[in-house]
Amino acid sequence: MNKSDLIATGDRTGNPSYAPARLIFERGEGMYVYDSDGKAYLDFLAGIAVNCLGNCAPQIAQAVSRQAQTLLQISNMFYSDVQIRLQESLTGGCFADRVFLCNSGAEANEAAIKLARRYQRVVRGEPRTQIITFESSFHGRTLAAITATGQPKYHEGFEPLVPGFAYARFGDLESVERLISADTVAVMVEPIQGEGGVRPAPEGFLSGLRNLCDRTGALLIFDEVQTGVGRTGHLYAYQHFGVTPDIMTLAKGLGGGVPVGAMLATDTVFEGFTRGSHASTFGGNPLACAAAEVVLREVGDPMFLSGVRDVGEYLMASLSNLDAAVPISAVRGVGLMVGAEVGAEKAGAVATAAREHGLLINTAGGTTLRFVPPLIATRSDVDLAMERLRAAMAQVASP
């Protein structure tokens, strides 16, 4: 089939809730992806913060190829050496003692919600029900995860939602204090709101949540699906903010393009799960574990993380100083998770024009351009991205 026929078939057979650009990508390499016409695009989207080592990173491809020839799937009825090594790598690099492996961020967040509730009921013997999340948050598309998501547009048509959720204002401790009580199971928060517009938690907010949870016996859950695995220039964002949660969720960059998620917690909290409490058929399958093992080895290198911080600071400075036809009113972010505020009337048009000029970015929160390139991005990549962004903004601003 030619390009037009393929797109028509995709429209006829695909999920109608998607609205893909009229492009067919055929291959990727490093910082670039290539469409069916051979056009190269500088990738500052990375599959939405997923391809952390670049497109088709050779070290991941080699590991996955080797694993595919030895063992693909055995279920969690048995051990596999690669799964055990991954679990050790995950717990060795953070506060947690144990890991539940799954396939996506939504599944990781579902597991966190279930563990938190069961811990309070089974271990502590307290029939708590309430989980506090935040306005403008995003936690996934499964029913409990969209209920946790503090954006009504994601709730529409799926009512009744899962009971027991309440929404505070992100960055506003007083709004949390008004909600938190002896009935609160947990407070669930993104250290940096991604879909909400790339908004880092303000200074003192996360430590304030930690104090509130300690005072009331609630658990603190960090959704690090987007911020984790080097995205902020630290292995995990909680290390950047200096606040340790009780439960942490990961996905996106963890597999470097291979679907894998994880929910991590301390031994004490994991007492909430006993045999049969929760499971996943494909969770921790050897193929995904092989990819994640490579990612953690590469991204966990202190020199690699230092490079992420350096290029991230350079990206933020470049955006702040960009002389462009569409003004940027604010630049926010940490590491290589950066947002540039341009307003609702311009954001979508700029992202589309950028694609026409060979730069992949997207919008977040309706008003913000989001830059989440592979973590291998260099200052030269940033310079080229700014050149293409400037051209895109000139196109949008022209009559």
Catalytically active residues, by annotation: 138, 223, 252
Residues 349/355, Cβ–Cβ less than 8 Å: no
Sign of CA dihedral 289, 292, 298, 301: negative
Rounded CA separation 354/152 (Å): 29
Tokens of 371: 């830059």
Placement of tokens 């954001």 in the chain: 347
Q: Count Cβ neighbours within 10 Å for each residue of 307-339 and write b for 16 or more, e otherwise.
A: bbbebbbbbbebbeebebebebeebbbbbbbbb
Residue 120 DSSP class:
I
Rounded CA separation 317/24 (Å): 33
Q: Compute CA 23 distance to the chain's CA centroid, rounded to the nearest angstrom.
A: 24
Q: How far are the Cα atoms of 115, 130, 219, 363 from residue 148, in angstroms, in the given order?
A: 15, 11, 15, 21
Q: Count Cβ neighbours within 10 Å for each residue of 58-79 and write b for 16 or more, e otherwise.
A: eebeebbeebeeeeeeeebeee
* Amino acid identity at 47: G
Rounded CA separation 284/260 (Å): 8
Sign of CA dihedral 166, 129, 107, 123: positive
Rounded CA separation 312/269 (Å): 34
Helix axes 286-299 and 58-68, enclosed angle (nearest 10): 150
At 189, phi and psi to the nearest 5?
-145, 145
